[in-house]
Amino acid sequence: MSGSRPFRLRPPRNRPDRRAIGWWLLQAIVIALPPIAVLALLAWLISPARFWLAMPAVVLGVLAACYAAVMPGWRYRVHRWETTDIAVYTRSGWFWQQSRIAPLARIQTVDTVRGPLERMFGLATVTVTTASAKGALRIEGLDHELAEEIAQRLTEQTQSTAATAGDAT
């Protein structure tokens, strides 16, 4: 590949939208609440097994509260993204952080997703699908208008890259 610039694995520069913290917190609550509520209801209804049903509900409640208190802020501090004229960069993860680069020539599709909770917060997720065995890159917690702009820009850039460089898949 003479004349092309090398891809350098570096930390992406952009953070998710600050509203993503609330979105991630609400996700944690929505996931944790049903099993806790079912156990608590069963403990209330079944008196002989009250202790054996209430104890797991309390333990799950404490674990869920710890998770909800830590996870959104941690994700906000770790998750990063960036798009350039040559690639899409992402970084995600908790303890094992994963940094990925998708060269524009490898991009096959660019999608935006706005689930019901994301819509409540005015957010969206951009999914960049490549020919990689690792799967798609996801940029979560973006302002929905910014997500549309990124999808449009990447689509235009990949079309011009494919026209000049050929299909790299």
Q: Which residues contact 153 (CB under 8 A, 6 or more apart)?
A: 83
At 149, the pLDDT band (50, 70, 90 cuts) reads: very high
Backbone φ/ψ region at 135: left (φ over 0), alpha (ψ -120 to 50), beta: left
pLDDT for residue 1: 43
At 159, the pLDDT band (50, 70, 90 cuts) reads: confident
The radius of gyration of the chain's CA atoms, rounded to the nearest angstrom, is 21
* pTM of structure: 0.84
For residues 27 and 133, the model is more confident at 27
Q: What percent of the chain has pLDDT over 90?
A: 72
- Tell me if 101 sits within 8 A of 92, measured CB to CB: no
Choosing among 2.30.110.10, 3.40.50.720, 3.90.850.10, 2.30.29.210, the CATH entry for 80-165 is 2.30.29.210
